Every structure is written in C-alpha cells, then in structure tokens.
Amino acid sequence: MKGIVYRRVSTKDQGKSSLGLDAQLESIISFASKENITITAHYQDVDSGGKDDREGLTQAIKEAQETGATILVAKLDRLSRDVHYISGLMKHNVPFIVVELGKDVPTFMLHVYASFAQLEREMIGKRTKEALAQAKKRGVKLGTRIPAVLQGIKAQKDKSFARILPHIIEAKENGCNSNRTIAEYLNEKGILTPRGKQFSKASMTRYLKFLRDNAPQLSLFE
C-alpha cells in the first residue's frame, strides 16, 4: 500500500517552529512502518481545521485520487473538524486512515469522531467570544494571546469527553440502553471519571445530556 502523509497545525507560529508537526510525522511514520505502507508524498498546512480549502490538503486528495494512495493523518481533526466534509471524503471514496484510530475503524465510528471534532470547534469558538466580551466589559485590554489561552483551557476541559465517548458508544452497541447500565459497563471496564471515581447513573446522565444538547447529529444519544 502507498501512503501520503498529511499534517496540519493551526497557527503560523506552530508552523514555523514545527510544534505539533514533528509529533504528527513521527506517529504516521511509525504506523506506516508497522503496516508496511510505503510513503510516497508529504503535504502539510498551517491553517484552521474548520477551513477545508487548504492547499496542502487539496493536493493530497488530488494525488490520492490519481494514484490510489491512501492519505495518512495522525488524528481525525488534523484532516478536518467538519463532519460534513469528512462524510464527503468517504462518499467520494477518498482513501484515508486515521493513525490514532487504526486501519479498520468502522465508518460509523468515523462519523461519530468527526461530529465530536466539529462540536469541539464550535464550542471553543462560542466560549472564546463570550469570554472576550466579558473581559472587554471589565475593561481588560484584549491581546492576541487571550484567545489561545482560553482555547487551551477549553481543550483541557474537553479531554474527558474525548476519552470517555468511545466507551459510551461501545456500551450502547453492546445493548446498554439506560444511563445506569452504561455506567455499570464503564465501571466493569475500569474506566473512571475525570476525578478518578467510578461512574454513577447521575454522572452518566450529565455526560449524555451534554451530548444531546450540543451534538444533536449524534442520533446514538437520543
């Protein structure tokens, strides 16, 4: 199998200093070596995950379609944070593998992960705007670093959802249809809450309410 490396970071500073790019490359190269994938091309962008007309990505997709090579990305949000864009790639048979998820991840799971990536982007944008508006009311001089700081805090807070979501999906697929049984399923697997405790019906209710309120596209949680 032939593979095309695609990497992305969000800011010019990250692009210039290779922060994040090197880690992505290392992950992809390691995966390709284990899976006997021959790397034939490298592309990268320094741009937002919400913007899909990126030059590097466009070239990677074109080459994949022309040569039959598979695009390799470290994480799904490096490819895009738009669920419809990810769905479009799959619909048009653009081959790609998300190293973090592995070669044989079901299409359904890719849709779920894409939905979560889009949700995270939308929430970061919304909360950043709200925080900046409040800071302005208090007379704070808004510098260019404030949005980045807020985004970092938000990303840390959302790590718990990113970690627990796949296990909730697995529980649902195994017939757990109530908050109590989902909590019991995670507890049996040894999955803990962000505070290091076992799940209860109440804590699972909070997780699922968050997903229903903020990601209606995830019909799994209706």
Least confident of 4-13, 25-34, 51-60, 66-75: 4-13
Per-domain boundaries in the chain: 2-98, 107-221
How many Å apart are CA 146 and CA 107, to the nearest integer?
37
CATH class of 2-98: alpha beta
How many Å apart are CA 78 and CA 76, to the nearest integer?
5
CB 83, CB 118: distance < 8 Å: yes
Which band of pLDDT confidence, cut at 50, 70 and 90, is reported for residue 36? very high
How many Å apart are CA 172 and CA 219, to the nearest integer?
12
| pTM for the full predicted model | 0.54
Please give the span between the terminal C-alpha atoms of the chain, in angstroms, as a whole number: 39
CB 121, CB 50: distance < 8 Å: yes
Parallel, antiparallel or unpaired: strands 96-98 and 70-73: parallel
Q: Which DSSP letter does residue 51 get?
A: -
Nearest to 94 by CA among 59, 123, 127, 143: 59
Condensed to tens digits (0 to 9), the pLDDT of residues 78-127 reads 888 777 788 888 888 899 998 988 888 776 667 666 666 555 555 555 55
pLDDT given at position 114: 63
**217 CA to centre of own chain:** 15
Condensed to tens digits (0 to 9), the pLDDT of residues 191-214 reads 887 777 888 999 888 877 776 665
Q: Report helix, strand or coil for 94.
A: coil
pLDDT given at position 220: 47
User: Which residue bears the tokens 């913007």?
Assistant: 51
How deeply is 151 buried, as exposed, middle or buried, from its count of CB atoms within 10 A (0-12, 13-18, 19+)? middle
pLDDT given at position 66: 94
Condensed to tens digits (0 to 9), the pLDDT of residues 134-192 reads 656 666 554 444 444 444 444 444 556 666 777 787 787 778 888 899 898 888 887 88
Least confident of 29-38, 52-61, 173-182: 173-182
Residue 130 has pLDDT above 50, yes or no: yes
Nearest to 169 by CA among 101, 114, 218, 96: 218
C-alpha torsion 121→12→153→21, nearest 10: 90
How many Å apart are CA 44 and CA 23, to the nearest integer?
13
CA angle 90, 95, 96 (to 5 degrees): 95
Instruction: Output the CA torsion sign for 174, 180, 184, 187.
Output: positive
Q: Which residues of 173-186 are buried (b: 16+ CB within 10 A; e: fewer)?
A: eeebeebebbbbbb
How deeply is 13 buried, as exposed, middle or buried, from its count of CB atoms within 10 A (0-12, 13-18, 19+)? exposed
pLDDT given at position 110: 73
